[in-house]
Amino acid sequence: MHSLDDPIISLNGLGPKAQEKLNSIGIYNLEHLLFHLPNRYQNKTHFTSLDQAQVGGEILVELSIDRIEEVATRQRQLLCYLSDENNRTLLLRFFHFNQYQKQQLIRGELIQCFGELKIGRDGLEIHHPEYRLISKGQPTLIEKTLSPIYPLTAGIHQPQIKKWVNIAVETLQQTDLFDYFENLAKNSMPTLKQALYTLHHPKIDDNIDQIANFRHISQQRLIIEELCAQQLSLLKLKNERKQKISNIFKISQKFSNQLSSNLGFDLTTAQQRSVNEINADLGSSHPMLRLLQGDVGSGKTIVAVFACLQAVENGFQSAVMAPTEILAHQHFHGFNDYLQPLGIRTALLTGSQNAAERQAQLALVDSGEAQVIIGTHALFQKAVNFNKLGLVIIDEQHKFGVHQRLSLAQKAHNTPHQLVMTATPIPRSLTMSAYADLDSSIIDELPPGRSPVQTIALANNKKDKVLDKIKQVCAEGNQVYWVCTLIEESEVLRAESATNTHQYLQENLPELSVVLIHGKMNKEEKSDIMAQFSDGKIHILVATTVIEVGVNVPNASLMVIENSERLGLAQLHQLRGRVGRGFDASICILMYQPPLSNNAIERLDILRQTNDGFKIANKDLELRGPGEILGTQQTGIADMKIANIVRDGYLLKQVNYYAEQLLQNNEKNQQALINRWITHDKTQYANT
């Protein structure tokens, strides 16, 4: 008799090799097998009659064999024609088979088969069905319950994992499984034991459609529990942070008022609200960890500048980290425009600086002369000694890993206040689950006077039209981005192809100044070109996606994106956000290579329909799942045991409720629940 703590190696037929493979997906003991939940089910509980069968679905049928045929098309095939008593027919098609198998299939015999029903030239077909020859006395395929299908890992087969999980389920029946959740959910949901049992062995009278759609109460119970464990682990981190002591900034309006009167525009209501929320954090004794979300162009940067002012007034340095050299330079100039008139000194730290430049900047940082320090990854390198770092700001946070952010935060003597900014909005369901450990401010309006970017999709062979548009835009005194996005993995090939486009545009638009920028250029060259473009000295900037994030040149009003069908929604939206920053009506042309996949059509359509980053983010989540949106951010969200943020978003309200309840529960239960569901050691956002 097994117990749930037994290591998996104690199972019959499970050797060291399989053990290693299962360990790699977090399965060490029988309890882990119990929580290895099916990701779908097969229904072999009844035969389907051919006139009721749906193409695309999986069916089990029992029919008789009419005729066998071996055909030699490009590839040899074995065809087995079946029919029912009403002469409805089904064709079994085998692309791999042996002669023994062929000989077994005999006219007139009864055969059961299971597989996905397809429609071919001559009617219904199943390819490579699972089958049994009933006349030969083989056991029936009919099963009493739905058949769970388990996620696999390379080298482990479905029948094996099924067998091992079943032993765990049998063991469960003889065991008490501590149910941390039950007192919360009692009476309203099945117990953990019932729920697990149902999911591994659904009964025929369980609502099969609900199970197939992961809407059965037993599934909901476990989904809620898993999401709860996930959230609880984040909320615990948040609580721990709120226990820590940081520097209290005494909030002052001196610099803020000065900056406001220099700005030439008023903050939007949403920007002002974010500034207030940040100030409230900075003024408390606990370290701030706040996510500032806002659509492209919503004006996150200026909010960050206001935060720096508070640090300066309290005698602390601020570090502002950007993911690219171009963006760091741009911020450096932008921040200087705001800060210099107030007499505040800045420094710049990037990887491309020569030794002398670097030494000079490091000295400013070290002495404390520089009050706001802007840079790239170079900011957290060893040689950098901050004099008194009190505020860390991360721009475009999805481009950084947790460890990079922490490396910077660790440069402070005391836990610093941290503000992390997104590139585009994050869907609410994802914020609630992946960033539950952060406080959040949302800039949900754009500065006034922006007209939405008109978005057009054009096939690649319509380049002439694009050239006409470019001429028109430049004649009106505006500028153009032409973005080359390529399949090529290497930056060298990418640069090469951008070079070709550059040449093409120069040849076809000789009266305009066309300049190329790509990742292979040295950093000075790049920032020089960006400065010229910014000053209006370049008409058309041909770029690889190096310009993707953050670049701000309001006079650019036309964006052409090549091969747009290859990019994700968030990236396209982010690129498009480079135009529509000034008062001129802007256009984004999405060039594509036909034919488009359905998914690509959907993506380009949503971009044409809306400029609303919040809507686009939701669609992106739906189309690509959470992994892509979270970027280098490591969380357990992308590989949960049963929950799926996109499918199960509707449960998040309940999850929140239970997570808050559990937070009042005893510490040991909380940890046990977390350990049960979060087997991998996944670094959460605030983890220090």
List residues near Mg ion by CB under 5 A: 550
Residues 386 and 412 sit within 8 Å (Cβ to Cβ): yes
297 binds, among ligand ADP, Mg ion, none (CB under 5 to 8 A by kind): ligand ADP
Least separation in angstroms between CB 301 and ligand ADP: 3
Residues 249 and 314 sit within 8 Å (Cβ to Cβ): yes
298 binds, among Mg ion, ligand ADP, none (CB under 5 to 8 A by kind): ligand ADP
Q: Which of 401, 554, 568, 625 binds ligand ADP (CB under 6 A)?
A: 554
For residue 424, count other CB atoms closer than 10 A to its CB.
23
Residues 442-461 that bind ligand ADP (CB under 6 A): 447
Least separation in angstroms between CB 292 and ligand ADP: 9
Nearer to ligand ADP, 145 or 552 (CB): 552
Least separation in angstroms between CB 397 and ligand ADP: 12
Stretch that binds ligand ADP, among 11-19, 153-161, 260-268, 383-391 (CB under 6 A): 260-268
What CA–CA distance (Å, rounded) separates 25 from 134?
A: 38
Angle between helices 192-200 and 158-173 (to 10 degrees): 150
Buried b (16+ CB within 10 A) or exposed e, 336-373: bebbeeeebebbbbbebbeeeebeebbebbeeeebbbb
Nearer to ligand ADP, 263 or 475 (CB): 263
What CA–CA distance (Å, rounded) separates 276 from 294?
A: 16
166 binds, among Mg ion, ligand ADP, none (CB under 5 to 8 A by kind): none
Least separation in angstroms between CB 330 and Mg ion: 9
Sign of CA dihedral 6, 8, 13, 17: negative
Secondary structure class of 443 (helix, strand, coil) = strand
Stretch that binds ligand ADP, among 216-224, 261-269, 371-379, 621-629 (CB under 6 A): 261-269
Least separation in angstroms between CB 300 and ligand ADP: 4
Is residue 268 at the binding interface for ligand ADP, with CB under 6 A as the rule? yes
Nearer to ligand ADP, 190 or 577 (CB): 577
Nearer to ligand ADP, 519 or 554 (CB): 554
What CA–CA distance (Å, rounded) separates 31 from 8?
A: 9
Nearer to ligand ADP, 495 or 549 (CB): 549
What CA–CA distance (Å, rounded) separates 414 from 314?
A: 14
Residues 563-592 that bind ligand ADP (CB under 6 A): 581
Least separation in angstroms between CB 323 and Mg ion: 10
Residues 363-422 that bind ligand ADP (CB under 6 A): none
Residues 92 and 113 sit within 8 Å (Cβ to Cβ): yes
Q: Which of 178, 265, 650, 657 binds ligand ADP (CB under 6 A)?
A: 265
Residues 269-328 that bind ligand ADP (CB under 6 A): 271, 294, 296-302
494 binds, among Mg ion, ligand ADP, none (CB under 5 to 8 A by kind): none
Interface map 149-188 toward ligand ADP (x if CB under 6 A): ----------------------------------------
Least separation in angstroms between CB 277 and Mg ion: 18
Residues 603 and 615 sit within 8 Å (Cβ to Cβ): no
Nearer to Mg ion, 190 or 550 (CB): 550
Least separation in angstroms between CB 423 and ligand ADP: 7
For residue 475, count other CB atoms closer than 10 A to its CB.
11
What CA–CA distance (Å, rounded) separates 39 from 148?
A: 8
Least separation in angstroms between CB 420 and ligand ADP: 13
DSSP letters spanning 320-342: EE-SSHHHHHHHHHHHHHHHGGG
Least separation in angstroms between CB 26 and ligand ADP: 39
Among all residues, whose Cβ is closest to ligand ADP?
Answer: 299
Question: For residue 396, what are the contacts with CB-CB under 8 A and spacing of at least 6?
Answer: 322, 323, 327, 421, 422, 423, 549, 550
Nearer to Mg ion, 390 or 550 (CB): 550
Nearer to ligand ADP, 58 or 444 (CB): 444
What CA–CA distance (Å, rounded) separates 28 from 10?
A: 11
Angle between helices 523-534 and 325-339 (to 10 degrees): 50
Structure tokens at 682: 């996944």
Helix (H) or strand (E) run with residue 155 in it: none
Q: Which of 508, 552, 661, 669 binds ligand ADP (CB under 6 A)?
A: 552
Nearer to ligand ADP, 268 or 418 (CB): 268
What are the helix and strand counts (H, E) for the chain? 25, 21
Nearer to Mg ion, 550 or 636 (CB): 550
Query: Could you identify the residue written with the tokens 């000065």?
Result: 258
294 binds, among ligand ADP, Mg ion, none (CB under 5 to 8 A by kind): ligand ADP
Structure tokens at 424: 């585009």
Least separation in angstroms between CB 557 and Mg ion: 19
What CA–CA distance (Å, rounded) separates 682 from 684?
A: 6
Question: For residue 182, what are the contacts with CB-CB under 8 A and spacing of at least 6?
Answer: 191, 192
Stretch that binds ligand ADP, among 129-137, 267-275, 281-289, 629-637 (CB under 6 A): 267-275
Least separation in angstroms between CB 560 and Mg ion: 22
Question: For residue 560, what are the contacts with CB-CB under 8 A and spacing of at least 6?
Answer: 466, 470, 480, 481, 482, 483, 588, 589, 591
Helices (H), 174-268: 182-185, 192-200, 208-212, 217-243, 254-263
Taking alpha carbons only, the member of 670, 674, 673 closest to residue 684 is 674
Among all residues, whose Cβ is closest to Mg ion?
Answer: 550
Nearer to ligand ADP, 294 or 626 (CB): 294
Please give the size of the binding site for ligand ADP, defined by CB under 6 A: 17
Return the CA Rg of the chain. Answer: 31
Nearer to ligand ADP, 220 or 271 (CB): 271
418 binds, among ligand ADP, Mg ion, none (CB under 5 to 8 A by kind): none
Least separation in angstroms between CB 376 and Mg ion: 15
What CA–CA distance (Å, rounded) separates 476 from 471?
A: 9
Least separation in angstroms between CB 465 and ligand ADP: 29
Stretch that binds ligand ADP, among 48-56, 143-151, 425-433, 550-558 (CB under 6 A): 550-558
Stretch that binds ligand ADP, among 263-271, 494-502, 555-563, 627-635 (CB under 6 A): 263-271
Secondary structure class of 238 (helix, strand, coil) = helix
Helix (H) or strand (E) run with residue 146 in it: none
Binding residues (CB under 6 A) for ligand ADP: these are 265, 267-268, 271, 294, 296-302, 447, 550, 552, 554, 581
